[in-house]
Amino acid sequence: MTRQLTELVAEHTVAERDTAPLLMADVVSAAPRTSVEMRAAGDTDVSLPDPVRESLTQLRAGLPVVGVAPASPPSPHSTLSTPTDRPPGGQTIPHTLDDSMRGKNEDPMSTFHPDLRRGRFIPNVSYGRLSSRLVRSVKWRSTDPGPDVTVQEIVVPGPKDAPSVSLRVFQPTGLKTAAPMLFWVHGGGLIFGAPEQDDRTNIAFARELGITVAAVRYRLGPDHPAPAAVEDAYAGLRGLVERAGDLHIDIDRIAIGGASAGGGIAAALALLAHDRAEIRPVFQLLLYPMLDDRTTTRTDLDTLKVRVWTPKSNRYGWSSYLGDAVAGPDVSPYAAAARREDLTGLPPAWIGVGTLDLFHDEDVEYARRLGDSGVPCELDVIPGAFHGFDLVLPKAEISREFWRRQARALNGAL
């Protein structure tokens, strides 16, 4: 599989294909199917056992959590479409957490969600200096938004003594009055990525919610260490606010969000905006955010069956951004949001993460601390979901439902 992935990376580099997660998706698609997978009954070996689901029903500090039942029946109440089409919504079941989100009899970190069973074939490839440069060399291809959404590239002044910041801005066609905005930060482990990788979902947010979505381009490590990324994000947000009239942005209804490293940058941006008191976002949308550099010191995570983003990749990503300061006492919360002790006064948040995600524990802990600080926070834990599952397998029903939940949370907040 590693050789196959290498060949696919080379192929995609030449063909200028889309994203690193999609390279992983190609490996999954090309993987041989087992006899179990071919059963008409369908993959009973990877369905979530009852003890796992039962382990999600005990209280953890009163933190509200939404889980998803495997193979859930359609709900007649869903009205939001997915980024690709309009299938019926999945029924949701509320859950709460025990102390470790692991359970006593089964380990959710070793059991894939039925909709994501092909993720078992993703090889545990880690990113380092050479492989991250290879991914960064891929030219990201944009997505045609269709006639009902417009897209434009906007350039605004950057941070002091730094280059200008560009943003990819999506808006409903014909927008004439002030509307809410989602300020979006792409993922990529702080070492690669571009706004185009999230075109599909950003277009869907603009289309379905009637809002502006602005995706920022920020400088990446190791060439641009902390706090370059969050300062670029702040400059981008400030530049959009200054042009709010021309862009029909309601500055009183701005949400900030991101996925993975972008979710961590968005969380840090919420801290920076709070402290500078110039711009006041009203909501945080954080998808499996990369929040805590101290996770790099946890050797117990090395044996977990995570996918897409491994402990080794995590150590390289954080080290590229923080240098020798990683996991030390002097890391700023503007670089790693989990370092902030007092989270009082931050905007309400929605955090989504899977149990098979390297960032699971730090995300659950951050959500708990937000709640303890009086910040409303909805935590959405997906049993058996790995990091970036919705990018790797976007057509899976759980991936579509995951997006619908984000859209509902945004719609309610804005």
Task: Give catalytic residues, as residue numbers.
Answer: 260, 357, 387
Look up residue 261 and give its two tokens. 């490293």
Per-residue DSSP letters for 252-270? Answer: EEEEEEEETHHHHHHHHHH
> Which residue(s) pair with 184 in the sheet?
215, 257
d(CA 409, CA 255) in angstroms, rounded, equals: 11
Please state the length of the chain: 414
Pairing of strands 212-216, 179-185: parallel
Task: Say if CB 140 and CB 18 are below 8 A apart.
Answer: yes
In the chain, count of helices (H) and strands (E)?
12, 12
Question: CB under 8 Å to 297, separation ≥6 — which residues?
Answer: 327
- Report how far Cα 138 is from the mean position of its chain's Cα atoms: 20
d(CA 243, CA 98) in angstroms, rounded, equals: 46
d(CA 112, CA 119) in angstroms, rounded, equals: 8
> Which residue(s) pair with 153 in the sheet?
168
